[in-house]
Structure 1
Amino acid sequence: MSNDISDDPWAQRVYLTWLARDTRYALTALTALTAYAQNTPVPPAAWVCFEDFLSFLGKVSRTLWPAPGKGPNGTDKGLEWRTKRGPFLRKILEVEDSSPLKAREVRNGSEHFDERLDEWIVSLPRPTVEEWQADTKPTFPAPPMRLINVEAGTIQVAGADLDLRFMAEELQRLLTKIEDLEPSAAALPTDMAALLATLPRVPIIPFDAPAEDPGGIQAWLDEQNSTDPGTATGDTEA
Structure 2
Amino acid sequence: MENEELECRAKITHETCDGIQPMHLVFYEQSIHYSAERCLNAFARYDSMIDSDEAYELISAVQEAIGHSAALSRYFWPTSMGKKKEIPEQLAMRQSRGLKLKKIFGVTDDSPIANRDIRNAWEHFDEKLDTYLISNDAGLFFPSPMIAHHAIADEPTGKVFKLIDPTNEVLILLDKRFFYRPIRDEVERIFKKSVV
Q: How far 1:51 sits from its partner (Å)?
A: 2.6
1:186 alignment partner in structure 2:
none
1:5·1:12 contact (CA, 8 Å) conserved in 2?
Answer: no
1:8 corresponds to = 21
Selected match of 1:96 from 80, 100, 108: 108
Distance 1:79 1:45 in 2: 38
Aligned to 2:121: 109
- Indicate if the aligned counterparts of 1:70 and 1:79 stay in contact, CA closer than 8 A: no
The answer to whether the Cα contact below 8 Å between 1:36 and 1:43 also exists between their aligned partners in 2 is no
Aligned mate of 2:159, from 143, 146, 152: 143
Rate the CA distance shift 1:125–1:83 in 2: closer, same or farther, 3 A: closer
CA RMSD of aligned residues (A): 2.8
- Mapped to 2, the partners of 1:125 and 1:44 lie a distance apart of 25
Match of 2:65 in 1: 53
AA partner of residue 105 (structure 2): L
Gaps in structure 1 of 5+ consecutive residues: 128-139, 184-238
- Contact kept, 8 Å, 1:70 with 1:76, in 2: the verdict is no
- Cross-structure match for 2:49: 36
1:181-196 equivalences in 2 (<5 Å)? 183=196
Q: State whether structure 2 residue 135 is matched by structure 1 residue 123.
A: yes
Larger relative strand fraction: 2
Q: Match of 2:188, as an amino acid?
A: Q
Describe the shift of the 1:175–1:123 C-alpha distance in structure 2 as closer, same or farther (beyond 3 A): closer
Equivalence for 1:168: 184
Counterpart in 2 of 1:188? none
Change (3 A) 1:126 1:33: closer
1:155 — aligned with what? 171
In structure 2, what is the Cα distance between the partners aligned to 1:149 and 1:17?
33
Q: Please report how far the alpha carbon of residue 121 of structure 1 lies from its aligned counterpart in structure 2 after TM superposition.
A: 2.4
Q: Partners in 1 of 2:190 and 2:78 — Cα distance?
A: 17
Deviation larger for 28-37 or 54-63: 28-37
TM-score for both structures, normalised by structure 1: 0.60
Q: Across the two proteins, how many residue pairs are aligned to each other?
A: 167
Q: Which runs of 5+ in 2 are unaligned?
A: 1-8, 140-155
Matched residues in 1 for 2:177 and 2:89: separation? Answer: 37
Between 1 and 2, higher relative CO (CA 8 Å, sep ≥ 6) is seen in 2
CA distance in 1, matches of 2:57, 2:180: 20
Measured after TM superposition, the shift of residue 37 of structure 1 is: 3.2
**1:35 Cα deviation after fit:** 2.5
Q: Which amino acid aligns with 1:66?
A: P
Change (3 A) 1:12 1:49: same
TM normalised by structure 2 equals 0.72
1:105/1:126 Cα in 2 relative to 1: closer, same or farther (>3 Å)? closer
